[in-house]
Amino acid sequence: MIDDRLLPLDGVDNARDVGGLPLRGGGRTRYGVLLRTANPSHEHLTPADLAYLVEEYGLRLVLDLRRPDEIELNGRFVHDGVDRAELTLIGESREALPEGVKLSYLEIYRGYLTDHPGNVVEAVRLLAAVDAGPALVHCAAGKDRTGTVVALVLDAVGVERDAVIADYALSAMHVEAMFRRWTTAAGTPMPDPDALDRHRPQAQTMADLLAELDETHGGAAGWLLANGLTEAELQRLRERFREPEG
């Protein structure tokens, strides 16, 4: 159920758990292993948000996929006992965010994998670590960079393809709320409906990206292994995300 996965956070948008997703061959992903959100900076999180993330959820690791300049401009999540890793995905093929380039989202997502394959793999490696504890992955809006990394993780652990794509596309329902938060804070007008629609994730985009990985590497797991993830790390990732049987 979608409602079971959405998180009760007031200071950050597009927040959900990736638990409860169906696995190929049976079973589901485990709740309480990985959250995905928009930027959860301290400037916006409420005390109740922090209590939920750190005390109730038990957050231990935050993976920040933004560029260094975005982090400095818009803040970061900092809390005692919570580790952080900054792993930018934007590099040589585009020196700007999607709104600053004339590329399709599929081309942009390919760019994440070709510009910074090491950072993509490192993000997955950290999620696979036995002692990582519950983790949160985010970028600015939690839909493109976050959506790509989470989709690779879900595909690699064996989530049914339709569910991987649906989780990615779910961010579309949060786009208007995110822009309303940002424009209100900046004192600028909301984008028109057509502009908002251009920012909404389309299921076909992720379907096409995963199909390309199927063709070139036999899926996300094959791409990760080809770019430095070990078989042992992949197995640990699967063990962490799979709900125990029985």
80-130, pLDDT tens digit by residue?
Answer: 999 999 999 987 555 444 444 568 999 999 999 999 999 999 999 999 997
pLDDT above 90 as % of the chain: 72
Residue ranges of domains in the chain, CATH in brackets: 2-241 (3.90.190.10)
pLDDT of residue 134: 93
Q: Per residue in 133-177, pLDDT tens?
A: 899 999 999 999 999 999 999 999 999 999 999 999 999 888 887
Does the pLDDT value for residue 235 go beyond 70? yes
Does the pLDDT value for residue 1 go beyond 50? no
For residue 42, name the pLDDT band (cuts at 50, 70, 90). Answer: confident
User: Mind giving me the DSSP string for the chain?
Assistant: -HHHHB---SS-SS-EE-TTPBBTTS-BBPTTSEEEES---TTT--HHHHIIIIIIS---EEEE-S-HHHHHHH-----TT-EEEE-----TT-SS-GGGS---HHHHHHHHHHH-HHHHHHHHHHHH-TT--SEEEE-SSSSSHHHHHHHHHHHHHTB-HHHHHHHHHGGGGGHHHHHHHHHHHHT-PPPPHHHHHHHS--HHHHHHHHHHHHHHHSSHHHHHHHTT--HHHHHHHHHHHBPPP-
